[in-house]
C-alpha cells in the first residue's frame, strides 16, 4: 500500500478472487476498485518509483514468469521471462 502524490490516491494492490491482480484506491472520500486483467499465481508487490513517478507492480503470471505491470496508456504488462 502506498500514497501516490501524482494523483492524490492511497492505493493497494492484491490478488483478486478471480486470480487477477487488483487495485483498490481511496481518493476524496471515495473507494474504487480496478481489475488489472492478467492471471497471476501470487499476490503482487507494488512500489512507486520515485525517479519517474511511475507505479510498478511485480508478480508471477499464469505461465510462472516474473511480470512487471505499470501505467502507460492504460495498464501495461512486461513479461520479464524469469520462471519461478
**Residue 3 to residues 45, 46, 73, 81, Cα–Cα distance (Å):** 15, 11, 21, 29
Instruction: For the chain of 84 residues, list the mean pLDDT of each consecutive stretch of 10.
Output: 82 91 91 91 85 86 91 86 77
The CA distance from 37 to 27, in Å, is: 22
In the numeric block, the cell 472520500 is attached to 29
pLDDT for 80 equals: 93
Contact 41, 28 (CB under 8 A): no
Amino acid at each position: 500500500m502506498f500514497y501516490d502524490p501524482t494523483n492524490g490516491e492511497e492505493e493497494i494492490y492484491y490478488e483478486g478472487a478471480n486470480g487477477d491482480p487488483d487495485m483498490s484506491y481511496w481518493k476524496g472520500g471515495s473507494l474504487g476498485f480496478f481489475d488489472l486483467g492478467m492471471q497471476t499465481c501470487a499476490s503482487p508487490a507494488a512500489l512507486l518509483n520515485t525517479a519517474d513517478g511511475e507505479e510498478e507492480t511485480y508478480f508471477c503470471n499464469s505461465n510462472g514468469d516474473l511480470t512487471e505491470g505499470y501505467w502507460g496508456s492504460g495498464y501495461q504488462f512486461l513479461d520479464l521471462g524469469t520462471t519461478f
